[in-house]
Structure 1
Amino acid sequence: MSNESSTHQAGRLLVWNEKIKKHIRSIALTLVGVVSAAAIPIWQIYFVETSEVVIELASINRNESSHFTVPLDTDELALLEPYIPSDSLYEFNRQGVRGDKIDYPEFTLNTLFEAYEKAKQDLKNMALTKASLLKSIERIEAYLDPQNHQFPLVEFRVSELKGWDLSNHIDDSEALYFEEQVLAITRNYSQMAFDNQENPEINIAALKFLLNDVKEDISDVIHESTVRHERLRDDIRNIETQLNKLKSQQLELYTYFEVEVVASNTGRVSTSLRPLALMRVQISENNYVDIRLQLQNYTEQAELAPSSTNILHYRSSELNTFPSEDQALINTFWGSTGRVRLFAMDTKHNVFTSNQIAFVDNRNQKLIVDKLKEAASAYMDK
């Protein structure tokens, strides 16, 4: 029985071997298909469906902070007050009506430099201004002189007063008051008496009193202007020195960096950059400064879609928040020999390194122009 059983089993194995040989090609193809199906997703994840990010530094700008303001706390700077717009000197309510003068106003350096330029121009025009004011006094005296028939007081009108541009020399509200009073005396018919020919009788006494008041104000302006201009002439160089010193202080402490970056994702999967980046300023082989940058409009700009390019803008803190050693290095090497790279990271902790450009505020124009010249030369050689 044992021999018959062995013979039977051998026969069955022979049959199975024949079947396997017959279908070996189909079985092999099936196994290859199963393995491939399992391997393709892994291959896609690690070799195809990934983000490919490249970042390029386009420009570095060093901007002045709007937080840096200066009071007129020296005798020289105080001479600039007449040349500063009134909306910076007075309080205004929501309706735009001017209120009290600000006790201790502060101004941006741009405002003070503009006032300084106006002061210099005023010094040049000092003689012309004084001559114009003296001419207004002469005209007032002509109207007040009863023997001067060329300028009868009864014919004085507000148009003459406006022609003197008093608002350029005295307080605006007082100049407006004078104009309103002249109108009231010469045009308020409801308050006037009329002669036999029904012509209105102008209050000559009131008009005479008013013109004497205007003459007194103009005389005060001439005196004050002469004194102020003499002081201004003596101190104009000191004002310039103080403003330039403040300008240097602003540049060294109250500026910040704005960096423009071109970020491209050539991969097939989107990624998101983290809001913090690092700009390293390489001074020498072992000497560098790290400047932390914050991505602006983070919620809108951080995501890099597949096959896309974004223009990103980063901003640093103001220099006065940096360690003093870093401030010194930045101020020393800005615009000279420093070279910078930017380092950014995405949410998967992949770190991306930018190209290297000069540590200078030129929007990388030299590099762009050099490449354009190179392309132009290559084109002409064809």
Structure 2
Amino acid sequence: MQRRISRKTVRLLYYPTAFAAGLLGGWVLAFVGGLNPAIVPVISAGIGLLVAFGVPIWQNYYINTPKLAIEISSIKRVLSDSTTIAIHDDAELKVLYGEKRRNYSYFGEPELFGRTGKNSGETIDNLQNLLELAKQRLRDLPAQIEDRKRSVEQLRAVNPTALTRYQVDSWNAPLSPEVEFDPSNLETVASDLIKAYEKRLETAEKSYADLQTNLPIAERRIEIVQQELIRKNSLFTVSASLINSGRTNTAIKVPALLRVLIGEGNYIDIKLSLKDFENKSEIAASGTRIVVFESLEISSLPEEDRALINTYWGQSVRAWLLVEDIHGGIAKSGYIAFAEGLYQKIIYDRLARAAST
């Protein structure tokens, strides 16, 4: 960590320096005047002065100071929560709309559907969740179709004249709208129940065919969209441990810098900001703080820098993190690969080697 000499230290140095200069000047004048002054008292006074003032200065500057070190835990490239995709505007993703409707209607919020504008978009995480729901539905539908076929066959075998209100209510349980019970026209009631269950069967079969055809297309589309958004709208989060091995508390400032070295004299600077500054900036003496820094979306960077980031992210290039504390000291981390998960892999490999021995 780079240190700057504080004003307090400069003031402390001023007085002994002036005293020593005066002492030396007086001795020189006495010597020139022929008084033949002794040098030993001057040397003794100088040594005493050095000890008297030097020790407190040394203690203040080297001992009772923060000593900040940084270790990067991970670098991630993510999309912000504000990055959304409108399902309804993308024909290849419309197959997921049914999963969204079923998911939200379960929570009693069908009014969400049909909206336009910002609220109609879905984040990548939500799209992945909808995709998983659709895959699960695809796995469940064959059993549901067989169950509905059996229900239709059972209804066709029912004697209409023997239908009771209790039986009709039982058959009505999964139906919306329900078939009305009319004791004077039981044959029509039975016929309406059969039609309703045949429609349920037809809906399940159509849904199964739709998912079989369009779900792989939607999955590929999500992958393409995600890569496009990451290239244009992603941001970086850097997790790091700040270790203060000094005897004085310190705090870091909000701005930080991630420098990516991509060649001899060639680099990219990514500006970061400390998240949760109010609670995370201070590091106690002999203490450690886990912090997270976050950049703006890379769309805010010059086009040349965006192209370099997209080219070298995940490649064999190195990056390091720099922060400044409230005393003006600059702390630098060690190098880390400019890639997600590679640092963790290195740690796992070290642990595996240790386990083998």
TM-score range, shorter chain: 0.7 to 0.9
Which stretch of structure 1 is more off in the superposition, 347-356 or 110-119? Answer: 110-119
The residue number in structure 2 matching 1:103 is 115
Shift of 1:159: 3.9
Where do 5+ consecutive residues of structure 1 fail to align?
1-23, 167-173, 186-202
The residue number in structure 2 matching 1:317 is 296
Q: Percent identity?
A: 28
Quote the Cα distance in structure 2 between the aligned partners of 1:375 and 1:128: 50
Quote the Cα distance in structure 2 between the aligned partners of 1:375 and 1:69: 44
The residue number in structure 1 matching 2:27 is none
Quote the Cα distance in structure 2 between the aligned partners of 1:48 and 1:332: 45
The two structures have a TM-score, normalised by structure 2, of 0.72
The residue number in structure 1 matching 2:34 is none
Assess, with a 3 A threshold, how the Cα gap between structure 1 residues 49 and 227 changes in structure 2: closer, same or farther.
closer
| Aligned mate of 2:85, from 70, 73, 84 | 70
Shift of 1:83: 2.3
The residue number in structure 2 matching 1:13 is none
Confirm or deny: 8 A CA contact 2:319 2:336 kept in the other structure: yes
Which stretch of structure 1 is more off in the superposition, 220-229 or 69-78? Answer: 220-229
Confirm or deny: 8 A CA contact 1:144 1:153 kept in the other structure: no
Assess, with a 3 A threshold, how the Cα gap between structure 1 residues 258 and 133 changes in structure 2: closer, same or farther.
same
Shift of 1:343: 0.8
The residue number in structure 2 matching 1:135 is 150
Quote the Cα distance in structure 1 between the aligned partners of 2:251 and 2:139: 60
The two structures have a TM-score, normalised by structure 1, of 0.68
Shift of 1:156: 1.2
Where do 5+ consecutive residues of structure 2 fail to align?
1-39
Assess, with a 3 A threshold, how the Cα gap between structure 1 residues 292 and 89 changes in structure 2: closer, same or farther.
farther
| Aligned mate of 2:277, from 291, 298, 302 | 298
- Give the CA RMSD over aligned residues: 3.7
Equivalent residue runs for 1:238-257 within 5 Å: 238-257=217-236
Q: Which amino acid aligns with 1:84?
A: K
Q: Which amino acid aligns with 1:76?
A: E
Q: Which has the larger radius of gyration?
A: 1
Quote the Cα distance in structure 1 between the aligned partners of 2:187 and 2:112: 32
Equivalent residue runs for 1:1-382 within 5 Å: 36-72=51-87, 73-88=89-104, 99=111, 101-104=113-116, 105-120=120-135, 122=137, 128-143=143-158, 145-146=160-161, 152-153=163-164, 156=167, 158-162=169-173, 165-166=174-175, 174=176, 178=178, 204-205=183-184, 212-362=191-341, 364-372=343-351
The C-alpha deviation readout for 1:59-96, integer Å capped at 9, x for no partner, is 21223332222222233322222222535479x8xxx6
Question: Partner of 1:262: helix, strand, or coil?
Answer: strand
Shift of 1:130: 3.8
The residue number in structure 2 matching 1:194 is none
Confirm or deny: 8 A CA contact 2:101 2:110 kept in the other structure: no
Question: Partner of 2:253: helix, strand, or coil?
Answer: coil
